[in-house]
Every structure is written in C-alpha cells, then in structure tokens.
Amino acid sequence: MKLLPSPLVCRDAVELVSDYLDGFIRHAGADEVIVAHQAPTIEGRLRSVTLLAEAMAMGKPVIATGYSSNIDFMTPSNSLLVRYRLVELDRDHGPYRRGATWAEPDIDHAAELMQRLAADRDLAEHLGAEAQRDITEQLHPERVGRLLMSRLKALTAGMNAAAAHNLSAKHSAGRRAA
C-alpha cells in the first residue's frame, strides 16, 4: 500500500485515521472516518472493523475499502466503499504467506470519495443517519445474541451427529470383532 503524504488535508474536519488506537480516541470529534485497509493482520482487521462500526453507531459517515468483514454491515446505502484490486503477495507478510491474496485499496478513489463527502454535507448527513440506523438494528445485542445462539446450536447439532456416528461405528466394529 502506498503511504499518503502527511498531513493529508482534504478539509479541516476530515481526518485520515492511520493509527487505529489514536483513532478510537479521536473519531468522536471527527466529521467522517476513513479506513482504506488491506486487513494485513487479524488484529488490524478487528480494530478497523470496530472503529467503523463505532463511528457508524455514532451517526458518522464512513469511507472504507469495500472488501473484508466490514462489508457485513457496510453497504452503498450507509457508507462509501473504496474500490480495490485483489493482489497476490510476492513475499510473506505477517501471517499472510507469499501467494496469498488481499485487497489493495484504490487510494485515488478514496481521495475522490473524501472530496465528495466534504463537498456534499447532505450526503454526509444521509449516510450517517443510515449508518446509525443499520448498525443499531444489525449489531443490537439481542440480535447478535440470537445469531450466536443459532450458530452454537448448529455446531453442537453437527457435533452430536458426528459423535453418534462414531459411537455407532465403534459399536459395529466391536460386534464384528466378537
């Protein structure tokens, strides 16, 4: 990923969040939150997804790469998604091995989206309101709890079926040996 010159100023109220921990502290005062990520590590991906979801819950318009787990809750109607191209790694990078594929965000497109958001405050307000509504519905603790419970039931049902099959196989093998 190409690094942007620092400081990047599209508009005084727009901040490019490059240090995620600092971003957690500062994004409450930002007009927008921008994360052009490749998801280079699991920890980094969790931080960026958390940052985006928190900003959206606060009614902030967000711009992020249209790839990875953030698209589980980011849509064209509640955020601006940065174009990307899938690239094959030519060397190992952390847990990602040479030959793995990740998204390379289109930095020029990200800049265009930032300018668009800075120029169109009605769009920014609309996206922020949609983002807040969607996050409140999609990530509400009761809904997430129901999804987790459903998944746990499905997993345990699969485990119970596998255990029953193994017991049956052992029982049949024991009867054949006798």
And the tokens for 56? 């959206």
And the tokens for 70? 């953030």
Q: How far apart are the first and last CA of the chain?
A: 66
Mean pLDDT (the chain) is: 76
Give bridge partners of residue 72 from the DSSP assignment. Answer: none
Checking if the pLDDT of 8 tops 50, the result is no
pLDDT in tens, 114-140: 999 999 999 999 999 999 999 999 888
Amino acid residing at 96: Y
Three-state helix/strand/coil letters over the chain: CCCCCCCCCCCCCEEECCCHHHHHHHHHHCCEEEECCCCCCHHHHHHHHHHHHHHHHCCCCEEEECCCHHHHCCCCCCCEEECEEEEECCCCECCECCCCEEEEECHHHHHHHHHHHHHCHHHHHHHHHHHHHHHHHHCCHHHHHHHHHHHHHHHHHHHHHHHHHHHHHHHHHHHHHC
Global pTM reads 0.66
pLDDT in tens, 76-110: 999 999 999 998 889 887 777 888 888 888 999 99
Per-residue model confidence (pLDDT) at position 174: 58
